[in-house]
Amino acid sequence: MGGCIGITRSRSGAIDDSSGSLSRPNSGSTRKNHPLCHETIRWKSDVPLTEGQLRSKRDEFWDTAPAFDGRKEIWDALRAAAIAAEALDFELAQAILDGANISVPNGYLTECYDELGTRYQVPIYCLSYPINIVKEDNGRDSPAECSEPVDGGIETILKLRLSHTCVDVKLPVFSTDTIGMCKKKLQNQEGIDGSRQRWFFGGKLLGDKIHVEDAKIQPGYVVQVIVNMEYIPNAEGS
């Protein structure tokens, strides 16, 4: 089943931001708050994007949005709620919105208001993957490529908390491994496609090119791995 609203039109000819097509509460009147809808919005991009391009587009929006309008703390809360909702943790997403006094009249993060009445619009591409996402063929690394240290790296064990199971797993890596390499190792160990993983530590997104040693992950600390459930391949592969 798709989302409660249709997401197929585009203003710019690129990716669709349908927030402008949603009904808007009348200015100056009492605004109703609606619980966050527990459905993934399904939409199609006019210009097919790879997962990397989509992630870059999202990062660009979240990094620049506070400079144009609204309060940074509200944008930060919306970003956290969007990440939680995409991982299907709607309870956490709702708690984030409630804690920041953000109202969602339409049940979607595409249009929100803070307690002062300021309007915040989150583009659809920040909330879910398009149905025509272009899968990047990263392939599976050979055992040697995944296990050999680079430039004398030190072997260490990362403690990862997977969002879709809330289970902690241990992953052997090397200090000189990049996060991208670690994702592939987790893919080989747990069967989670590396392109469906987003790693966070200390509240910051760890980019694929960052080395483990540069991420400053202290021993025993947990790295949060947000898994996009909708795109996890089945056991037989895709």
pLDDT single digits (tens) 109-148: 999 999 999 999 999 999 998 988 887 654 444 444 444 5
Q: What's the pLDDT score for residue 80?
A: 93
Whether residue 105 is found in the same domain as residue 178: no
CATH number at residue 204: 3.10.20.90
Structure tokens at 70: 């609204």
58 close to 78: Cβ distance less than 8 angstroms: no
Whether residue 65 is found in the same domain as residue 152: no
Using CA atoms of 82, 87, 93, 96 in order, give the dihedral in degrees to the nearest 10.
-70
Neighbours of 124 (CB within 10 A): 22
Query: Is the pLDDT reported for residue 184 higher than 70?
Result: yes
Asked if residue 152 belongs to a domain, the reply is yes
Whether residue 147 is found in the same domain as residue 102: no
Using CA atoms of 20, 26, 32, 33 in order, give the dihedral in degrees to the nearest 10.
30
Q: What CA–CA distance (Å, rounded) separates 215 from 175?
A: 10
Range of the domain at 167: 143-231
pTM exceeds 0.75 for this model: no
CATH number at residue 37: 1.20.225.20
Q: How far separated are the first and last CA of the chain, in Å rounded?
A: 21
Of 34, 122, 43, which Cα lies nearest the Cα of 81? 122
Asked if residue 25 belongs to a domain, the reply is yes
Asked if residue 7 belongs to a domain, the reply is no
What is the mean pLDDT of the segment spanning 4-26? 36
Name the helix (H) or strand (E) containing 183.
Answer: helix 179-190
Whether residue 50 is found in the same domain as residue 75: yes
Name the helix (H) or strand (E) containing 101.
Answer: none
